[in-house]
Amino acid sequence: MRVELWPKDGWSVCSRPAGAVYAGCILLALAIYAYSNRVAPVSGSVSLLILALVFVAFAFLAGTSGQTWTDPSNALALLLIAWAFLLDGFFIAGAPIFGPTKVMDVGVALERDPYVIYLWNESHWIHANLPKRISYDDLEKIRSWSQNLRLTNDLEPGPGRVQMSMWDRQVYWITMKKSAPPTTIGEPRRANIRAFVELALSLVFLLLSLVVWREGRRRGIRFRAVNPFYLLSEQSRRS
């Protein structure tokens, strides 16, 4: 049975400035992405899960070199990245395709963030995102509606009508029924090409993980001793 020699420095990849910068930038971008999805319980939770999966995947990839690319830890890391792409492609980018949508009669109110809106429906507030590619004039129209919210709600509980995705709380269009003439802002939901790209990437990373795993088993390679999770498990076992 042939066994590969591991590099002396197991964290050689992360010790390089470029590798540390790349990993840090990716994790920072994912953290910002999770924060941007905070208004929706489903997409917000999925975003945090994706951040955790990628962080663990980077920990498994730490110390990889040209000699150790077939380590089973790398196969597991690729599998976690595949899950991250799958979750984002299905629940967030794929929300217009796979997720439920709802048309509701609502009241309207804006908050400090100009692209986030509060919708009053069935005696509770719903935090949602305004339609994408909204113009400044359309934003001012919504702002004028929200300033008259108290009056319009006294006259009619739901002066507006919206179509909204329930997974990511994205409003596709909003109509003020009492405006003259009735004004609609936004457009009907459309399929997001990003969803199909991410689902395809999840399949690619899944196949790569299988290739790395099979090649590692063919070479008789075990988990490298410098893997951080392996070290933690060994320390806990000894204690």
pLDDT at 12: 47
> 214 lies in a domain?
yes
- Output 114 or 170, whichever has higher pLDDT: 170
Question: Both 168 and 197 in a single domain?
Answer: no
Mean pLDDT of 78-107: 91
pLDDT at 139: 73
pLDDT at 61: 78
With H, G, I as helix, E, B as strand and everything else as coil, classify residue 167: coil
Question: Both 131 and 172 in a single domain?
Answer: yes
- Output 57 or 10, whichever has higher pLDDT: 57
Domain hosting 17: range is: 12-94+192-238
Q: Is the pLDDT of residue 153 over 60?
A: no
Question: Both 49 and 32 in a single domain?
Answer: yes
Q: The domain spanning residue 140 has which CATH number?
A: 2.40.50
> 6 lies in a domain?
no
Question: Both 153 and 40 in a single domain?
Answer: no
Top mean pLDDT of 45-59, 151-165, 167-181 is at 45-59
> 2 lies in a domain?
no
Question: Both 172 and 54 in a single domain?
Answer: no
**Alpha-carbon gap, residue 21 to 225, rounded angstroms:** 25
Burial class (CB in 10 A: 0-12, 13-18, 19+), 42: middle
**Alpha-carbon gap, residue 35 to 40, rounded angstroms:** 10
| pTM exceeds 0.85 for this model | no
Residues 184-234: pLDDT tens digits?
888 888 888 999 999 999 999 999 999 888 887 777 655 544 454 454 455
**Alpha-carbon gap, residue 176 to 182, rounded angstroms:** 6
**Alpha-carbon gap, residue 203 to 21, rounded angstroms:** 27
Domain boundary among 186, 201, 230: 186
> 84 lies in a domain?
yes
Domain count of the chain? 2
Residues 16-67: pLDDT tens digits?
556 667 778 888 999 999 998 888 889 999 999 999 999 988 888 776 655 6
**Alpha-carbon gap, residue 227 to 58, rounded angstroms:** 11
**Alpha-carbon gap, residue 73 to 61, rounded angstroms:** 7
* The residue type at 144: S
Tokens of 41: 């319980």
How far is residue 84 from each of residues 28, 71, 81, 99, 196, measured CA to CA in Å? 15, 21, 5, 18, 14
> 164 lies in a domain?
yes
With H, G, I as helix, E, B as strand and everything else as coil, classify residue 170: strand
Q: What is the DSSP track for 92-132?
A: ITTHHHHS-EEEEEEEEEE-SSTTEEEEEETTEEEEEEPPT
Question: Both 109 and 160 in a single domain?
Answer: yes
Query: How many C-alpha atoms does 34 have within 13 Å on its Cβ side?
Result: 18
Question: Both 200 and 86 in a single domain?
Answer: yes
CA end-to-end distance (rounded Å), the chain: 32
